[in-house]
Structure 1
Amino acid sequence: MSGDSPTGSRRSRSRRPTLADVARLAGVSTTTASFVINNRPAQISERTRERVLAAVRQLHYTRNAHVTALRRRRAQTLGIHFHDYQGGQFARDPVLGPVLIGVAQAARSHAYHLVVFTGAPDRDGEVPVEAFLDGRADGLIYVHAPPGDRLMAELAEVELPCVVVFNRYAPPNLGFVDADNITGAQEAVRYLAALGHRRIAHFTHGIPNSNLEDRIHGYRLALEACGLPFDPRLLVRGEPWLDAAAALAVVRRLERPPTAVIAFNDALAVQVIHAARACGLRVPEDLSVVGFDNSTYATVVTPALTTMAQPLVEMGRLAATSLIQLVGGAPPSECRHLAPMQLIERGSTAPATARRRSRWR
Structure 2
Amino acid sequence: MSGRVTLATVAATAGVSVATVSKVLNGRSDVSESTRARVQELLREHEYIGRRPEQVERITVELFYQGFLNSYSVEVIQGVVEAGQAADVDVVVGSHPHANRSSGRAAPWIRELTATGRRAAIGITCELTDADLAALSRARLPLVVVDPISIAQPDVTSVGSTNFAGGMAATQHLLSLGHRRIAYLGGPPSSGCNQARLNGFRGAMEAAGVPVPKDYVWLREFLYEDGLAGGADLLDLPEPPTAIFAGSDETALGVMEAARARGLRVPEDLSVIGFDDTQVARLASPQLTTVRQPLREMGAVALRTALQLAAGEKVDSHHVELATRLIVRDSTAELARVPVS
- Structure 2 length normalisation: TM-score? 0.78
Give the equivalent residue in structure 1 for 2:4.
11
Give the equivalent residue in structure 2 for 1:102.
79
* Length, aligned pairs only: 323
The alignment's C-alpha RMSD in Å is 3.9
Letter in 2 for 1:129: I
Using a 3 Å threshold, how does the CA distance of structure 1 residues 61 and 283 change in structure 2: closer, same or farther? same
Distance 2:199 2:147 in 1: 16
Instruction: After TM superposition, give the deviation of residue 237 of structure 1 in Å.
Output: 2.5
Letter in 2 for 1:192: L
Gaps of 5+ in 2: none
Give the equivalent residue in structure 2 for 1:187.
169
Instruction: After TM superposition, give the deviation of residue 332 of structure 1 in Å.
Output: 3.8
- Structure 1 length normalisation: TM-score? 0.74
Using a 3 Å threshold, how does the CA distance of structure 1 residues 250 and 107 change in structure 2: closer, same or farther? closer
Using a 3 Å threshold, how does the CA distance of structure 1 residues 354 and 177 change in structure 2: closer, same or farther? same
Deviation readout 1:39-84 (Å, 9 max, x if unpaired): xxxxx6464899599598762335388x422xxxxx4211112124
Q: Matched residue of 1:318: which SS?
A: helix
Give the equivalent residue in structure 1 for 2:204.
222
Instruction: After TM superposition, give the deviation of residue 96 of structure 1 in Å.
Output: 1.3
2:157 maps to 1:175? yes
- The counterpart of 2:127, out of the listed 146, 151, 176, is 146
The answer as to whether partners of 1:115 and 1:137 remain within 8 angstroms in 2 is no
Distance 1:256 1:237 in 2: 19
The answer as to whether partners of 2:184 and 2:247 remain within 8 angstroms in 1 is yes
Q: Equivalences for 1:1-361 in 2 at 5 Å?
A: 1=1, 3=2, 10-11=3-4, 27=17, 36=26, 45=29, 47=31, 54=40, 59-61=48-50, 63=52, 67-69=55-57, 75-85=58-68, 90=69, 93-118=70-95, 126-146=107-127, 150-152=131-133, 154-167=135-148, 169=151, 171=153, 174-206=156-188, 208-238=190-220, 243-252=226-235, 254=237, 256-334=239-317, 336-355=319-338
Of stretches 283-292 and 52-61 in structure 1, the one that deviates more from structure 2 is 52-61
Using a 3 Å threshold, how does the CA distance of structure 1 residues 173 and 124 change in structure 2: closer, same or farther? closer
The answer as to whether partners of 2:231 and 2:254 remain within 8 angstroms in 1 is no
Distance 2:207 2:254 in 1: 29
Using a 3 Å threshold, how does the CA distance of structure 1 residues 22 and 177 change in structure 2: closer, same or farther? farther
Q: What is the aligned-residue identity percentage?
A: 31
Instruction: After TM superposition, give the deviation of residue 22 of structure 1 in Å.
Output: 9.6
Distance 1:323 1:23 in 2: 46
Distance 2:18 2:121 in 1: 41
The answer as to whether partners of 2:166 and 2:324 remain within 8 angstroms in 1 is yes
Q: Matched residue of 2:332: which SS?
A: coil
Instruction: After TM superposition, give the deviation of residue 342 of structure 1 in Å.
Output: 1.6
